[in-house]
Structure 1
Amino acid sequence: MFLFQSLWPTNGISSSDLSSEHSGTEETTEEHEVVASGPYNEERMKKDFHMERIAVDVPKDNITESFELRVHVFGAEIQRQGLTEREINVTVRICLAGQCRSVLTHSGTATPRWNETFSYTVEKDLIDLRETELEFKLYGKGGLFRRDRLWGSFVCDLYTVYCSDRHCIVRKWFPLTSALSSEDRRANNDYEGTSDLCGFLKMSVCVRRLHHADANIDMSFSEDTTDDEGEMVFTESLLHHTMTVRIYKLCQLDPCVIHYDHPYTYLVVQVQVGKQEAHTHAVKATSESVCFNEEICLRLLWPTVARKVIFRLLDKNGSEALAEAVLSLKQCQGDDECSPLFGPAFVNFHRIEEPDEPSPAVRFVGRALVEFDCAEEDRVRDHCSIPDEEAKYADYIQGRCEYVLLCSFSDANYIHPMFRKKNISFNVSLGPFGNTAYKTAVSAHRTISVTPAYSGIKYYGIAWGNQKPICEIQCAWENIERRIGRCNAVQHVANVIDTLVNMAVRETNGCGAVASHICDALHRSLFLLGFIIESMLMYTSWLVRLDRRARERLSFAANTRLDSARMMRIKSKACETRATFRRLRFRFGGTRSIIEVALDRLRDAAHLLNLLALDSQMSIPHVLVTMNSGSESLAYAKVPITEIFYSGDKNLKGTYCGYTRAVAMEQIRIKASEKEVRLLCLIPLHVLELEKFLPGHFEQLYRICGLTHRTCSSKIALMNVSTQVEVLQLRFIHQIIVICRNFHKASDECFHAS
């Protein structure tokens, strides 16, 4: 039995309206370019007030007007600067002409989220707005700091905001630089390098004139859903980088992708980072393996607020996306722990999730061998071909090692009552192996269908007893044993620390018993960290470079550039953590204050090790367990390959290898039939007037809808019927349709009788 954890939900942010120039329905433009001011012309200025977009002219001097500034703060992306997330405690202060406002303090995360609006009023000449500075300051409060620490700041003048499109900068990311004064930043306006950059603020800013024609715009400042695709403004402090992506080949394609178009399917690979994207040329897919051998470039501003690198499979026209693979940029940090680096390694494609469609998690459709890095340079060409002497070695990376997946089932419980009459079986697959969509070798990947039995308390279950079904799948993948062992070693240390910390927290026998658990955690952690450091030194330093390695050498386990960067980072973090634990062990005296400090340090170390255990180059996909009824998939669960990997060394094998664990299966969404919904809406609105003619049918309708008493509103009955369309049996739908027909007959009889 296994345990499956679900993703954290994102909380929605309420909307806030902001007034500005026009009240029309014009949408906010994607890029806010500064409108250049032309020479003063009184006739032209009068005409511009009647146009949709007003060009800002230089006004007459000595005309003082009232301006209102509104700022809406959404959130921030903060560079930790050596701190853990638990130690981050930040707030934002907005200063304008001596007026300073602050948002609520947010702690425990490097990506705080706010939803606060501030308003300021100043009386200035329009020309004086050039010298009126608006300053945003990010402060670290309390915790490790005796006083508020200025984390970073950003300064701009109001005239720049006023000259923007519609006098607004909406939902943009503002770069925060290190704590320099406004005068120094204005004198040195080059922001040399990225060393001064410490994060980003996502805000909306608007400047409007009160009691004027441009004071009646209604702007929505609600949070958008594509948070990582937001644009950045005032990017003078950012460097221009070029991200070079190499697409070598597609392999193990799903037959539905190969035969998507008739007579031939042409595929295009799209790469997207934030709002920057690039495409390869279209290549005809005639088999499960398609060679691209193409290098494409994306121009980025670095650092960036984008969080993911997205690979998509498109059709020939690029109008429809067939599959998608997503990589986290934070897990692809290179040698400098900043610019992204990946591969050569495989990424796994799955069906793109669409609303009201079955979950795409059960549809593995292929893999792609890719490689990318980022450099501070500007490439002349956006596309180029990979030389043949480099591309021909890509075939030797795929499928060089044989694996066997073994899975046994003990029991299945907490099955929902809606599945009580179905013959349920379980299917295990690993990519294309065990997948019914692929024509792979026959394997024992499915259990025998069984009808669940009532467990006594609402739910149903399946108990196999002593005859437990066992699934076995033979498969071939690239050799990533070292990569898996490295992740498991780090994860093992984090699990040990978490277990001992939880034991110390639950201890009720006083400070002495708690101190004993902490000393045990420190001692065992020091030993395991030393093992990791020695293991990092034993790994070979040569890399996989497709243009330098021969066929024989590629048959062995090798390290990519990202692997080497991860090993150096793991080694450095392990050394830092070991030094901290040693200092803590020698000063540990068992007092309450030292106990709290020790527990905090252990929790921080466990959190850091959990992050280091995540590897984006884990190219073997997750084990997929599905619950089926015939050919219909009802629920699914995913198990990471690192958790069940076997190794002779107990420090390198998976956490749950050889153990029984519980897996929580997630139900696959089923799209409701539109035809059935439309038929349900045939129930007339004046139900109370017809109830006396058809009392028996109404009782039947209430029973089908799950209502315990008669309701006085037909809309409530309709809502209950619509929400249960997915679970109603076909005979219930037929009965409701018959009731609807009887309603119409009764209404006609009432009409003729009157």
Structure 2
Amino acid sequence: MSRGSKKKTKVVRNNANPVWNEGFEWDLKGIPLDSVAELQCVVKDHEKIGRNRLLGQSRLSLRDVLHSPSLTAMFTVSLLDAKKNNTGATLTLQVSYLPPHGFSPMYHPPPPPEPIPHPTPNVEMDTVTMISLDTLGEEDTESLLMVEVPDDPVDDGRSMVLVGPQGQTEQDSPPALTPKRSPPSYRGQDRLRRRKRGGGGGQPKPLPNKPQDLQVLWTYRYCGPTGTVDLQILWTYKYCGPTGTVDLQILWTYKYCGPTGTVDLQILWTYRYCGPTGTVVLQVLWSYRYCGPTGTVDLQVLWTYKYCGPTGTVDLQVLWSYRYCGPTGTVDLQILWTYKYCGPTGTVDLQVLWTYRYCGPTDTVDLQVLWTYRYCGPTGTVDLQILWTYRYCGPTGTVDLQILWTYRYCGPTGTVDLQILWTYRYCGPTGTVDLQVLWTYRYCGPTGTVDLQVLWSYRYCDPTDTVDLQVLWTYRYCGPTGTVDLHVPWTYKYCGPTGTVDLQVLWTYRYCDPTDTVILQILWTYRYCGPTDTVDLQVRVRIIEGRQLPGINIKPVVKVTIAGQTKRTRIRKGNNPEFDETFFLNFFETPSDLFDEPIFITVCDSRSLRTDAVIGEFKMDVGTVYNEHRHCFLRKWLLLCDPEDLSAGVKGYLKVSLLVLAAGDEPPADQRECVSEREDIEGNILRPAGLSLRGATFTIKVHRAEDLPQMDDAIMAGMRQFLGFDGNRKNLVDPMVEIHFAGKTVCTKILEKNANPQWNQSLTMPIRFPSMCEKMRIRVMDWDRASHNDVVGTSHLCMSKISAPGGQIDDGSAPQPAPSGLDDGLGFLPTFGPSFVNLYGSPREFSSFSDPHEALNLGKGEGVAYRGRLLLELSTKLVDKPEPRTDDITCDEQLVVEKFLRKRKFSLFVAFYSATLLQDVDGAVQFEVSIGNYGNKFDTSCLPLASTTQYSCAVFDGCQYYYLPWGNVKPVVVLSSQWEDIRPRIQALNLLQSAADHLERNLRAVKLEEQAGGDLDRLELGVVRLLDHVIEDCSLDLPSLEQWSCATPLDRSLRHIRSVQMQQIKDSALSLKHGPETELKEVLDQAEEWASRLRELAQEPQNSLPDIVVWMLQGDRRLAYHRVPAHLVLFSPDPRTRGRHCGEVQSVFLKYPQGSGAEAKLPGQLRLKMWFGLSSDVKHFNDCAEGKLSVFAETYENQTRLALVGSWGTTGLSYPKFSDVSGRVKLPKESFRPSAGWSWAGDWYISPERT
């Protein structure tokens, strides 16, 4: 340290990678630089108040400067702390020395080293930032740069320059936002002087290995009468040399939208080279999309190349995708070519995939070619696979072709696997041909283990005869000199009008040595059966389920009759019964006689004793079943009709499986799993001659959706905001609605970037009425241009809940006169809305990674979160020629719907009494209450509400579980929300549920008294009490719809059918009470039937109030949940129409989301009280409140800890000192103001449970 001589740099604020680019000079007064001289560098953190904190220091020997031929050296030194430990930080500086005139360096300079790449090639150095004029007046820090020499320095004008590379840009101070200044001149400053050396120029040489950065963004937009054109070009280039690290990227985007169509074009070209002689990356992406009146064309080309040398690791990938969708058909083409080489002289992977699909108005063609090759050397491990698949489906028939060729060699001189599979199938009007060839060979050497298998199977089936051929040849040798197996079965079967021929050949040979074991077996069988021979035959009939059986409160039973044998199913209840029973009918007759016998499948009502108890019947010959492929009908729907009058129309549907088997035949597998989602129901119907379905149309009006969650990544939106374009993170979803019913699908248009879309479209779906399909699937999709569409949420409309069959309720009970507008007294066609349909699924929080609960969005399992809602309207019309159509809803129709959108303010109170039986809790937890999107603390698209309890740390109960120590202070959550006022619907629902609950409680009491063996007087008293309560409950009037302006046609139809059925139950109860004596069993059976009917009536398909969801949170993680239907806690002044749990303490058990892997565990139990109602009825909440409500205000104090210091404080804090729990909203204590009439009860205090 030269007598305390110090030089200081400027202060760089809030930058972990500071760049100074400053130069300093020390005048040594003519004294040569000593070889032991050192340069001491000290880096400190500047503090305006107090002492500067030491960040690191280092001592640098100047010996290398004297050894340098140019007396200049570049140093990158590590910084040490006060204890001489490495801090991990580095300092880069350049030191130059100008010796006095006549002096030479004391040490001979060593030979110059080889040129090496820049030590930090990835650091951006496109500009050199010199001393800024804006910081010349700032306070200097303590010593950052010092020179230490043993003798007194003498000023001779010699200079030492410090130059450092520019560090990586921090987020707080991006260099792109700061205008670059030209380097200032130092000629007019006294402390920095430039001296000429040897008469040379005064301009210093530029730094070596300087990288280059270049970025150009070019945007063009035209909007005129011919259309809209958007063009954007991004050109990026970066070079860091010498002879290495070149990055190049070109993005070219073009979009045209006009009367002729829409054209989207995107070209991405990326190139990267990192040398010397290695690491080449090349990527070309070409995407094109055209959408116009002639069709839609999608084209995508991806070309990727990578080389990492020397002489090894080559990756090549070519992807070519093309799709055309237009009036003439749909064409899909995809080509994938992948090549990989990893050398030297080994590891070659090759894969070729070629896929083609054409779907037109008359036929469909599918083609797939897969070619895979793998070599791993030297001289061993060769894998080869060839897959060729072809399928054609058209008016002339269906052709399936498949070729599989697999070869594997693992050397040296052993392990050869060979497999050849060739399958062909033709199905057309002339017959069915099945061909299969399997050839397998295996050798495992040396000189042993040979396996050989040959399978050849052929089947031909036409309307007159059937030919089956099968050849199996198996050979096995395991050496040396022993174990030979030979197996040859040969089977042939012919069945036609002239008779039946069976042929079987079995030849088995086995030799095992030493000591000679020889087994020889020969079986030769031949059988001929003519049309007059008697054989064993079996008819199997499986009754699966029924749909849309007409009648009210029926108990159907199915009878199957064949050649005098009759089988009967068990008695079921309802119009959509499930039987799943199989009957076996065995016969010993000639085939010609049995095939002429009819199969009668009759559905009857077991409750009726009249002669017209038959609901519907289907008739078919046994020979018709036998002439089918594999002699069976599997999972076919039978269209039932009246056997006496075919003009009466359809009488329902019955799903069956029919098989006719001869002795030795193997029955085909009849799957039992649910395939309703993929089943083509209307194309799988067997109709009797002379009966057809009536045409009808579903008109679905899709108006709008609300509260859809984010489905797309926000990276592009953030980039657009950074480049200066508009970005909307709240609307990162491109919704469309997909409606599926009976194998048909209709879709709305796509509205891009809209979380609250308004489609206002009318979709017409043609159907056949009556349809046996029960559910209409309604799914909101997120359209994705690059990949497959994502599912936002799924809901279902059940046809049995939005329609009703006509007819009488019960025997002898005539229906009441029907109101105007209904089909008859009770029946009505499917109708719905206008009303909202709620969507549930996985949590709303978006993640760029795969969603583990994605299956919940598909409607599989119980949804754990609200994901928006959809305003729909459905109507049904009978027409002769239904046609699909998509129209826009007129303005007048939109105005009619406006009255259904009027909202009122509701309040939700939830008081938590206890939280027990908690498991897997390792931190503070809190509970969140939400209804719809109100109360979701992680959703930034809505206003924040006080929807969460305070954080509490769980306490171990001493056994196995944890609980929260709330004590006498119970947390209360209060939410305000706005929804449509549908109280008449909910009150009717609650009234019916209350009547059903009352009846079931009395029924359980009577049964318990009977099982206990009580006296007859008490038992009779219980039955009388049951009948009195039924009469009283069914005498109540349902809420009137006359004064409610938002009543829909479905509301009026449901009220009518509910009133009629309640009147019928009341009349039946009066007849049992005042009529003749009846057996106790009959009364109890009648009461069970009443309870079942009330439960069926207590369903509301137009319940648009979302469920209340209670979540247990730990930090930012959602652990467990519980859903509470809102109608169960809805307040009503009438106790009969009030929710069952409104204002009552209830125990709920939390559940883990489906797919988390812990569904079998119980996360915890909550005891809570809920109250939900209009804000005008909040005063009634005090009637059920048991404690005194206290209101608290809270704020969070934030601190941070610096990495190099270790102490907590507010220095360097990137968010407010006082904020909400998220850290985003500034909430200082001074900003809290009590409302009028309120005052603070005390001072602020720190909550230890939440800290």
Same fold (TM over 0.5): yes
- 1: distance between equivalents of 2:771 and 2:1125? 29
Q: Which residue of 2 aligns with 1:308?
A: 775
* Superposed displacement of residue 130, structure 1: 7.5
* Superposed displacement of residue 237, structure 1: 5.1
1:224 pairs with 2:679: no
1:646 pairs with 2:646: no
Q: Which residue of 2 aligns with 1:55?
A: 462
1:330 pairs with 2:800: yes
Larger RCO of the pair (alpha carbons < 8 Å, separation 6+): 1
**Match for 1:201: what amino acid?**
L
1:650/1:60 Cα in 2 relative to 1: closer, same or farther (>3 Å)? closer
**Match for 1:225: what amino acid?**
C
- 2: distance between equivalents of 1:51 and 1:391? 63
Alignment of 1:498-647 (within 5 A): 498-507=1000-1009, 509-532=1014-1037, 535=1038, 538-540=1040-1042, 557-587=1045-1075, 593-647=1078-1132
Q: Which residue of 2 aligns with 1:745?
A: none
- 2: distance between equivalents of 1:140 and 1:206? 26
Give the secondary-structure state (helix, strand or coil) at the position aligned to 2:829. Answer: coil
Q: Which residue of 2 aligns with 1:298?
A: 765
Give the secondary-structure state (helix, strand or coil) at the position aligned to 2:544. Answer: strand
**Match for 1:614: what amino acid?**
Q
* Superposed displacement of residue 343, structure 1: 0.5
- 2: distance between equivalents of 1:250 and 1:393? 17
RMSD: 4.1
* Superposed displacement of residue 46, structure 1: 13
- 1: distance between equivalents of 2:551 and 2:883? 37
Alignment of 1:145-184 (within 5 A): 150-178=614-642, 180=643, 184=644
1:665/1:162 Cα in 2 relative to 1: closer, same or farther (>3 Å)? same
Q: Paired residue for 2:939, among 424, 433, 437? A: 437
Deviates more, 1:374-383 or 1:253-262: 253-262
Give the structure with the higher percent helix: 1
* Superposed displacement of residue 620, structure 1: 0.9
Give the secondary-structure state (helix, strand or coil) at the position aligned to 1:667. Answer: coil
Give the secondary-structure state (helix, strand or coil) at the position aligned to 1:254. Answer: coil
**Match for 2:839: what amino acid?**
F
**Match for 1:251: what amino acid?**
E
Alignment of 1:118-129 (within 5 A): 118=584, 120-121=586-587
* Superposed displacement of residue 598, structure 1: 2.8
Q: Which residue of 2 aligns with 1:666?
A: 1151
Q: Which residue of 2 aligns with 1:692?
A: none
Give the secondary-structure state (helix, strand or coil) at the position aligned to 1:424. Answer: strand
Asked whether the 8 Å contact 1:588–1:594 carries over to 2, the reply is no
1:397 pairs with 2:900: yes
- 1: distance between equivalents of 2:1055 and 2:894? 27
Asked whether the 8 Å contact 1:481–1:557 carries over to 2, the reply is no
* Superposed displacement of residue 413, structure 1: 2.2
Deviates more, 1:479-488 or 1:54-63: 54-63
1:340 pairs with 2:810: no
Q: Which residue of 1 aligns with 2:582?
A: 116
Q: Paired residue for 2:598, among 133, 138, 155? A: 133
CA offsets 1:520-566 (integer angstroms, 9 cap, x no match): 3322332332222xx45x4318xxxxxxxxxxxxxx65210000001
Which has more radius of gyration? Answer: 2
**Match for 2:598: what amino acid?**
E
- 2: distance between equivalents of 1:202 and 1:614? 27
- 1: distance between equivalents of 2:909 and 2:779? 32
Q: Which residue of 2 aligns with 1:94?
A: 560
- 1: distance between equivalents of 2:549 and 2:907? 42
1:490/1:222 Cα in 2 relative to 1: closer, same or farther (>3 Å)? same
Q: Paired residue for 2:882, among 359, 379, 392? A: 379
- 2: distance between equivalents of 1:53 and 1:46? 6
* Superposed displacement of residue 108, structure 1: 5.8
* Superposed displacement of residue 648, structure 1: 1.2
- 1: distance between equivalents of 2:851 and 2:1121? 18
Asked whether the 8 Å contact 1:36–1:163 carries over to 2, the reply is no
CA offsets 1:50-91 (integer angstroms, 9 cap, x no match): 976633248767962869554351522266766647xx373x
1:444/1:238 Cα in 2 relative to 1: closer, same or farther (>3 Å)? same
Give the secondary-structure state (helix, strand or coil) at the position aligned to 1:256. Answer: coil
1:204 pairs with 2:657: yes
Q: Which residue of 2 aligns with 1:696?
A: none
**Match for 1:389: what amino acid?**
D
Q: Paired residue for 1:466, among 968, 985, 990? A: 968
Q: Which residue of 1 aligns with 2:865?
A: 363
Give the secondary-structure state (helix, strand or coil) at the position aligned to 1:620. Answer: coil
- 1: distance between equivalents of 2:587 and 2:733? 61
**Match for 2:542: what amino acid?**
V
- 2: distance between equivalents of 1:320 and 1:121? 55
**Match for 1:226: what amino acid?**
V
Asked whether the 8 Å contact 2:767–2:882 carries over to 1, the reply is no
1:452 pairs with 2:951: no
Q: Which residue of 1 aligns with 2:318?
A: none
Q: Which residue of 1 aligns with 2:251?
A: none
1:666/1:389 Cα in 2 relative to 1: closer, same or farther (>3 Å)? same
- 1: distance between equivalents of 2:874 and 2:705? 16
CA offsets 1:404-429 (integer angstroms, 9 cap, x no match): 1111111122223x33x232221111
Asked whether the 8 Å contact 1:356–1:669 carries over to 2, the reply is no
User: What is the number of residues matched between the two proteins?
Assistant: 600
1:425 pairs with 2:926: yes
1:406 pairs with 2:813: no
1:100/1:638 Cα in 2 relative to 1: closer, same or farther (>3 Å)? same
CA offsets 1:633-686 (integer angstroms, 9 cap, x no match): 22111111111111112122111111011112211245579xxxxxxxxxxxxx
1:395/1:139 Cα in 2 relative to 1: closer, same or farther (>3 Å)? closer
- 2: distance between equivalents of 1:73 and 1:362? 38
Deviates more, 1:231-240 or 1:642-651: 231-240
**Match for 2:841: what amino acid?**
R
- 1: distance between equivalents of 2:458 and 2:1146? 67
Q: Which residue of 2 aligns with 1:250?
A: 705
- 2: distance between equivalents of 1:390 and 1:530? 39
Asked whether the 8 Å contact 2:834–2:900 carries over to 1, the reply is no
Q: Which residue of 2 aligns with 1:279?
A: 747
Q: Which residue of 2 aligns with 1:482?
A: 984
**Match for 1:648: what amino acid?**
P
1:672/1:614 Cα in 2 relative to 1: closer, same or farther (>3 Å)? closer
1:134/1:449 Cα in 2 relative to 1: closer, same or farther (>3 Å)? same
- 1: distance between equivalents of 2:460 and 2:782? 39
**Match for 1:479: what amino acid?**
D
- 2: distance between equivalents of 1:176 and 1:457? 62
CA offsets 1:464-490 (integer angstroms, 9 cap, x no match): 332111111110111101111111122
1:267 pairs with 2:731: no
Deviates more, 1:467-476 or 1:274-283: 274-283
- 1: distance between equivalents of 2:693 and 2:536? 31
Q: Which residue of 1 aligns with 2:546?
A: 77
Give the structure with the higher percent strand: 2
Identical counterparts, % of pairs: 20
Give the secondary-structure state (helix, strand or coil) at the position aligned to 2:1145. Answer: coil
**Match for 1:611: what amino acid?**
E
Asked whether the 8 Å contact 2:700–2:873 carries over to 1, the reply is yes
* Superposed displacement of residue 241, structure 1: 2.1
1:618/1:530 Cα in 2 relative to 1: closer, same or farther (>3 Å)? same
Deviates more, 1:128-137 or 1:318-327: 128-137
- 1: distance between equivalents of 2:1126 and 2:1151? 19
Asked whether the 8 Å contact 1:270–1:278 carries over to 2, the reply is yes
1:193 pairs with 2:649: yes
Give the secondary-structure state (helix, strand or coil) at the position aligned to 1:651. Answer: helix
- 2: distance between equivalents of 1:432 and 1:54? 60
* Superposed displacement of residue 576, structure 1: 0.5
